[in-house]
Structure 1
Amino acid sequence: MNLQEIITGGGISLFVLLTIIQIAPVKINPWGAIAKAFGRAINAEVLKELAEMKATQKETREKLEAHIDMDDERMADVHRTRILHFNNELLREIDHTKEEFIEALADIDEYEQYCKDHPNYKNNRAVHAVANIKRVYDDRLEKHDFLQ
């Protein structure tokens, strides 16, 4: 046997062996592993760029989430300010329409929901104002004496 016959016979034997292993019920896939390794070698640059894009996307997502949280907190502050202002007007005996009370109650709903969802948010500034607005609203509702 010469060298060419050995290499040809060995190559054919290796091909048949790998094919039999792939077909066998055991989950070994040598052709898939070879193709995967070859594909990774060819696409190494693309895979590197993809990993960089994923890292950049994660960083952007974190910044966006922080911005959204900050914006939500600002909106809670706006609701609280409106609640305190409305309560101040009630304390100065400025009359309001039923619609104005409904707007104030909507601010209260938004504010209380934010406080419930964010237990670390400092919300004790408006507790008594909220209670007073609800009490005055109930009184006006009972007496039917909203500003017309």
Structure 2
Amino acid sequence: MTIQELLAGGGGLILLLLTLVQIAPVKINPWSALAKTVGKAVNADISSRLDGIEAKLDGHITMDDRRTADSRRAQILHFNNELLRPINHTKEEFVEVLAKIDDYERYCEEHPEYPNNRAVLAIENIREVYKERLKKRDFLQESHAKDEEEGDVC
């Protein structure tokens, strides 16, 4: 068999096809496409139920995140109230509340619909008092805090 006979007898088509596959290797698998279509048809009911469950879960996650933000705001406002009384705090307590402020502000940035105006001034005051305490180095010391808790203060 010569090349001319191969090209004339349909071999040319095979040669062209192999060349195209070699140049642009596109994987076509009709069995996978068929199995995917059948799988979607068989599992349509389960898929729609999962979509409903996913929507409910998203709602619960949103509600939980909002509750967490509400809790952080309450803790921030409480800490600010203690500063206004005045109740002294350790540096560690300030660092802890500043971390809560960071989390709270991050949530507010990511959720612009969340009402943030309740804590803005409290946050500003906490930061100002913290800066003053850093400059003066007059945080409540741990040893004094333990003595006050135990009632050993003279």
TM above 0.5, one fold?
A: yes
SS in 1 for 2:43: helix
Give the partner amino acid of 1:86: F
Q: Deviations along 1:50-109, whole A, 9 cap, x unmatched? A: 001110111111111111010000000000000000000000010000000011101100
Distance in 2 (CA, whole Å) between partners of 1:81 and 1:47 is 48
Q: Deviations along 1:115-135, whole A, 9 cap, x unmatched? A: 000000011000000000000
1:123 counterpart (116, 119, 126): 116
Where structure 1 has 5 or more consecutive residues not aligned to the other structure, the ranges are 1-22, 26-31
Aligned to 2:70: 77
SS in 2 for 1:135: helix
Counterparts in 2 of 1:83 and 1:47: CA distance versus 1, 3 Å:
closer
Aligned to 1:101: 94
Given the two structures, how large is their TM-score scaled by the length of structure 2? 0.67
Q: Deviations along 1:19-57, whole A, 9 cap, x unmatched? A: xxxx896xxxxxx99x99xx79xx97x654400111011
Aligned-pair Cα RMSD in Å: 2.7
Counterparts in 2 of 1:48 and 1:134: CA distance versus 1, 3 Å:
same
Counterparts in 2 of 1:103 and 1:47: CA distance versus 1, 3 Å:
closer
Q: How many residues are paired up? A: 117
Distance in 2 (CA, whole Å) between partners of 1:62 and 1:49 is 22
SS in 2 for 1:119: coil
The structure whose Rg is larger is 1
Aligned to 1:17: none
Q: Does 1:135 align with 2:112?
A: no
Aligned to 2:82: 89
Distance in 1 (CA, whole Å) between partners of 2:96 and 2:85 is 19
Distance in 2 (CA, whole Å) between partners of 1:85 and 1:101 is 13
Where structure 2 has 5 or more consecutive residues not aligned to the other structure, the ranges are 1-13, 18-28, 142-154
Distance in 1 (CA, whole Å) between partners of 2:40 and 2:73 is 49
Aligned to 2:152: none
Distance in 2 (CA, whole Å) between partners of 1:53 and 1:142 is 62
